[in-house]
Amino acid sequence: MHEYYAKKAPKLKKAMNSFLKPISSELEKYSGKAYSLIFSEIWEHYEKNMLENFPYIGGDDVSGTRNLTGAYCFVSMGEVLKRYGVGMEEIGHLMVQAYERSFQGMPKLIRKIAHKSYTNVKSLNKKFLKKDAQNAANAARYPGSFETKTMIPPEKGYDFSYHNLVCPLADFAKKQGYEEYMPYLCNLDYVMFGVFGVPLFREHTCFEDGDYCDFKLKIDAEPMAYWPPVFTQGKGYK
């Protein structure tokens, strides 16, 4: 285990609980155990299988670290629930419910601010161009970390777009054998943007297409429904 993850373990455990507590009743129903017990099983799996194997991609200095550590809380949840006969679609639905309830639990003012920030194209371009430079500098030090490219002008028909060129989540899934979770993890982007009332559209993923993940916003459109998962809806989005 990299020393960063060993040091951060207590905070990561607390973060996992913040994600899973909103679905505690469902976890108890599926496992037949009290939340504290099933949470302990999930954390044990996460500590042994995720923290022991995560690549170091920059730690607290890059937001992508939280993406990696947060997303794989749900993978450990899924791996433990499989022991109790829970299927992948049910696991995927729990992931959506946990994420949805977490974001819906934010104060309305915070969600309103998030909506405004994601619908201000000029501000988005400035913010993400800065992020591109930061990610490029970080990737030079830690190969395999997130790399991004803001598209200016945006892709045709959209108000803002950027690409993830390298995705540590997808790379880790392929290396460790968690491929079946990736479409559901990608679907969580639609959950976050949807709760904020921001219309996201994506036609490529690093995991499936091997080239890039595209995040495209069409400000005046309606956000897509995120359950059933976008990748199952037959509209060409992932």
Question: Taken in order 154, 155, 158, 160, is the CA torsion positive or negative?
Answer: negative
> Tokens at residue 34, please?
């009290």
Q: Write down the pLDDT at residue 12.
A: 98
User: How confident is the prediction for the chain on average, in pLDDT?
Assistant: 97
Tell me: pLDDT of 1 over 90.
yes
Residues contacting residue 133 through CB under 8 Å, at least 6 positions apart: none
Among the listed residues 91, 79, 72, 55, the one whose alpha carbon sits nearest the alpha carbon of residue 12: 72
CB-CB contact of 215 with 164 (8 Å):
yes
The stretch 52-80 carries a mean pLDDT of 96
Q: Write down the pLDDT at residue 8.
A: 98
For a pLDDT cut of 70, what percent of the chain falls above it?
100
Q: Write down the pLDDT at residue 135.
A: 96
Where do the H-state alpha helices sit in 119-181? 121-141, 168-176
Q: What is the rounded CA–CA span in Å between residue 172 and residue 184? A: 15
Instruction: For 12-45, write each residue's pLDDT tens digit.
Output: 999 999 999 999 999 999 999 999 999 999 999 9
Q: What is the rounded CA–CA span in Å between residue 30 and residue 95? A: 14
Q: Is the pTM of this model over 0.75?
A: yes
Between the alpha carbon of residue 230 and those of residues 24, 34, 105, 155, 238, the distances in Å are 25, 32, 23, 20, 6
Instruction: For 68-90, write each residue's pLDDT tens digit.
Output: 999 999 999 999 999 999 999 99
Q: Write down the pLDDT at residue 63.
A: 86
Instruction: For 185-215, write each residue's pLDDT tens digit.
Output: 999 999 999 999 999 999 999 999 989 999 9
Instruction: For 143-173, write each residue's pLDDT tens digit.
Output: 999 999 999 999 999 999 999 999 999 999 9
